[in-house]
Amino acid sequence: MSEAGPLPYGTADTSFLAAGGESGITRLVTDFYRIMEDHEGAACVRRLYPDDLREPSARLAAFLCGWLGGPRRYAERYGGINIPHFHTRWPVGEAERDAWLECMALAIGKQGYTHEFSSYLLAQLQIPAERIVRAQHACPHGS
């Protein structure tokens, strides 16, 4: 009988646990928005957010919690969401996508995650980021 190894990321709650659970996700989101605030290259995406980042922070943390296999906090608090369609209310192009992903990559780098999980997480985040940009062509700026 062979021993089963750990479940791969994306299975059950392995990604949620690798991110440090809810407190780890909150730290990631806090670092992400702090980086976005200070990073010169993020001005194009930062301008899409309100001055007060508490609500976007709460929403992103709630979303990531469920998206990574933990409790479905976003659905509990805000209902369902179609990420690409939700973002058509803002002009999100390649520059904004790239700036968002760069800020997230820098925030991920501050978390002390394993290299494997860091790479996995950033690769997974690139998928909805690309879908958001594609949705802009189908329904630009919430039309």
29 Cβ contact partners less than 8 Å away, ≥ 6 residues apart: 57, 60, 61, 64, 107
CATH number of 35-142: 1.10.490.10
| DSSP track, 21-57 | HHHHHHHHHHHHHHHHHH-GGGHHHHTTS-S--HHHH
Q: Against a cut of 0.75, is the pTM above it?
A: yes
Q: Token pair of 89, please?
A: 């209310």
Work out the pLDDT band at 2, boundaries 50, 70, 90.
very low
Domain boundaries, the chain: 35-142
What crossing angle do the helices spanning 94-109 and 21-38 adopt, rounded to 10°? 130
Work out the pLDDT band at 137, boundaries 50, 70, 90.
confident
How far CA 82 is from CA of 13, 74, 78, 135, in Å, comes to 21, 12, 12, 11
Number of other CB atoms surrounding residue 7 within 10 Å: 13
Mind listing the pLDDT tens digit for each residue in 32-61?
999 999 999 999 999 999 999 999 999 999
Q: List the end-to-end C-alpha distance of the chain, in Å, as a whole number.
A: 58
